[in-house]
Structure 1
Amino acid sequence: MKSFYHYLMKYRHPKPQDAISQFANQAYEDHGFPKTSSDYHELSSYLELSADYLETMATFDEAWEKYETEVHHA
């Protein structure tokens, strides 16, 4: 199964137009991001405690919902 990070990278964009693209760009630059994880709690804990680039966890939740829909239910 594709990790959340791997999924998120499809949203990277040189000129991000939305919050998920900004999140993808910032996660790419974050060398501590749990790149192999597909665990919601591990990822959300990391983002809440270690990542200062997300303005709101709602962005992560929105990206996670897309990930769940596209990867887990494909």
Structure 2
Amino acid sequence: MRRSFYQWLMTQRDPVTHDEVKNFANGTFYDQAFPKQSTDFDELSRYLEENGNYLQAMDIFDAAWRQYLASEE
């Protein structure tokens, strides 16, 4: 069974390392309304465009999404 994007993203959290995906993961951890069960790119992208004030740029989400897909192969 495929894990959700949120479940994968939480494996990327790291309060010490400051790369963009890790910072995104750290910010998402505190977002109580994040669609935690979603595996749908469009749903997540739309949510982040409207609510992801902790995300510096959508390119970071795109990079994280590619890593997520690669990890689920």
What's the TM-score, normalizing by structure 2?
0.94
In the alignment, what sits opposite 1:43?
Answer: 44
Cα deviation 1:7-56 (Å, max 9, x = unaligned): 00111112232000000000000001000000000000000011111110
CA–CA distance in structure 2, aligned partners of residues 31 and 2 of structure 1: 18
Aligned-residue Cα RMSD (Å) equals: 0.8
SS at match of 2:11: helix
SS at match of 1:20: helix
In the alignment, what sits opposite 1:21?
Answer: 22
In the alignment, what sits opposite 1:30?
Answer: 31
**Structure 2 gap ranges (5+):** none
Q: Percent identity over the alignment?
A: 43
Whose helix proportion is higher, 1 or 2? 1
In the alignment, what sits opposite 1:3?
Answer: 4
Count of aligned positions? 72
**Structure 1 gap ranges (5+):** none
